[in-house]
Structure 1
Amino acid sequence: MYGSSDQVKDNSQRTTAMTETVSLQKAMWRGFTMKCPNCGRGHLFGRFLKVADHCEVCSEDFTPQRADDFPAYLVIVVVGHVVVPALLWMEMTYAPPAWLQLAIWLPVTLFSALALLQPTKGAIVGLQWQLGMEGFAATRRAAAPVRANVARTREA
Structure 2
Amino acid sequence: MKTPTPFESGLHGLCPRCGAKTLFAGIANFAPACRACGLSYASFNVGDGPAAFLTLGVGALVTVLAITLELSVQPPFWVHLLLWVPVTAVAVLGTLRLAKGMLLALEYRNAAREGRLVEDVEEGTQP
Classify the TM-score, shorter chain. 0.7 to 0.9
Instruction: Tell me the matched-pair count.
Output: 113
The answer to whether residue 16 in structure 2 is matched with residue 37 in structure 1 is: yes
Q: How does 1:117-136 map to 2 (within 5 A)?
A: 117-134=96-113
The answer to whether residue 35 in structure 2 is matched with residue 56 in structure 1 is: yes
Q: Alignment RMSD, CA only?
A: 1.8
- Deviation digits for residues 84-139 of structure 1 (CA, Å, limit 9, x no counterpart): 1111110110010111111110110111111011111111101111111127xxxx
Report if aligned partners of 1:30, 1:40 keep a CA contact under 8 Å in 2: no
The runs of at least 4 aligned residues of structure 1 exceeding 4 Å deviation read none
TM-score by length of 2: 0.80
- The amino acid across from 2:10 in the alignment is F
Report if aligned partners of 1:65, 1:125 keep a CA contact under 8 Å in 2: yes
Report if aligned partners of 1:42, 1:56 keep a CA contact under 8 Å in 2: no
Shift of 1:78: 2.1
TM-score by length of 1: 0.66
Point out which structure has higher relative CO (alpha carbons under 8 A, 6+ apart).
2
* Alpha-carbon distance in 2 for matches of 1:78, 1:122: 18
* Alpha-carbon distance in 2 for matches of 1:37, 1:30: 9
The answer to whether residue 88 in structure 2 is matched with residue 109 in structure 1 is: yes
Say which of 44, 47, 54 aligns to 1:68.
47
Q: Give the fraction of aligned pairs with identical amino acids, expressed as a percent.
A: 26
Match of 1:147 in 2: none
